[in-house]
Structure 1
Amino acid sequence: MTNSKRRPFVAGNWKMNGSNELVDSFSLKLASNPAVDVVICPPAVYLSKFSHAEFDIGAQNASEFASGAHTGEISLGMISEAGCKYVILGHSERREGHAESNEIVARKVKAAIAAGLTPIICVGEPLEVRESGNVFAFVKAQLDAVANECGADYIKNSVIAYEPIWAIGTGKTASPEQAQEVHAFIRKELAALDTQAAASVRLLYGGSVNAANAKELFAKPDIDGGLIGGASLKIEDFTTICQAAS
C-alpha cells in the first residue's frame, strides 16, 4: 500500500513490443482502477489506437525540438495530438543506447512541461556504480541536471521513476529495502528545492517489477507505484500489479 497522501501510479512501458491485437486486448479488457492512475506507453505508432481506452496513454520518448529536419523523431506536440498526457524521458535504454546525456534529458523535460505533458523522468545507476558505492552521487547528478535546466517547479509537474539499470530486463530486482533507500534519497534531494512538492510527487520503482514482487515493493513508504516493463505486456500480470498499488 503506497502513501495515502499520494495517489498510486502505475505505467506500463511496452518498449519496442506490441501489435494491433495486443492494443485491442488492452483497450477492451484493462479496466480502469478508481484508486490508481494507470498509464500505458506503447510504441508511437499505436498511440492513436488507444483513443477510447479507460486509462491514460503516454509516449516512450520525444524530441526536444518542436519541428524541423529531425528524421525519425517525434515532437511533443505530435504525441499530445495523439492523446498522450505523459511521456517517458531519460529511460536508461535512451541514455545508454542513444547517447542521451543528463543535459539532453533535462531539455526534454523542460520542453515536455511547456507542452502541457507530464514527464516520467527516469533516473538510476548501472551495476558498476552500485558496486562502487556511488549510487547517490550518480542519481543526484541526474536530478541536478533537470533542476538546473527547469528550476524547482519541475517537481510539481513530473513523475520520477528510479530504475537501477542492472535490474532492467535481467530478472533481477533491487530488494524492497534497496529501492526504498534510493527513493527516500530522491525525495530528500527534491525537498531541498521544494518541501511541499517533494512530499506530493509520485516516485515509481522500475526494475523487473512483476505480479509476485509488486505488493512488497509498493508497501514501502516512498514507493508510489511502478514503471513496468515486460509484465506490462501481459494483461493479467499488469492488472495484478495495478491492484497491488491500490
Structure 2
Amino acid sequence: MQCSRGDIDALGDAGSGDEKISTARSEAMMVEATIKAFVEASISAEEFERSIQSDASFERLLKNEVRLPAYIQEADLYTHLISQDYSRIGSVYNVQQLLCSFLKKHEIAHICSEKYGELFELTLKVQPKWLDLPAWYFSRAIDGEGASKGKALVGMLKKKIAQDFRFLKAAPKWLQSPDWPFVEGRPLVFVGQIDIGSLRHDTAQLYIFYDEHTGTFVTSSQSC
C-alpha cells in the first residue's frame, strides 16, 4: 500500500517532514498487515472487525479508497467495511474477496484463504431457508465434528441443526431475513407466530420463542 500525499496530510499534526512521513508509512504497514492477516484467515472476522472499529488508522487510509465495484453502495472502502455484519458467513466471505482484490491492486503479496469460501458453500448445503446461521455457531458446529468431511460432514451438520433449532409445529415464516434468537449461545425453541398487522397497520408478525433454561418467553417482530 503506497502512502499518497493525502494519506500523509490526513494524519494531522503528528509531526513534520520525515517524522510525519514515517508515521504515515507505519500506519499503512499496520493496516496492510491486519488486512493480510484477515484474508489469510490468520485472525478471525471478529478480530478484524474490532480492529477497523477501534483503530482510526483504518479510517484515515481506507477512506481514500473510492474506486469500488459497482455493487457496493457506500462511497469508500472504510465505510463499506464498518457497515458489514461480521457475524454472517456470507458477509465475511464477500469482505474477504473484496480485500483480496484490494491487496492485489496495491501489489501486496498475500494468499487468499479458501476457508471462508468453503464455509459459505457448506452453509448453503446444510442451512434451511428459515435460518441464517451466525458464523460462530457454524464454526463451533464444524469443530465439534472432528475430522468429518464431505457428505459425512454435511449429514452430521444437518442433523445437529435439526436438533438445535426446534419448533412446536412449523418453522417460522419470516417477513424479512431469518432472525432466530440465541441466549448464551443456545438457540431458543420456536413456539409460533401471530399476525399483528391490525396493530401495526401493515403486514406484521410476532414471533414467540421459549427459553427452556429459564422458563421464559422471548418475542420479536417483523413487518414489511
Could you say which TM-score interval applies, normalised by the shorter chain?
A: under 0.3
Greater RCO between the two (CA within 8 Å, min separation 6)?
A: 1
Give the structure-1-normalised TM-score: 0.21
TM-score after normalising by structure 2: 0.23
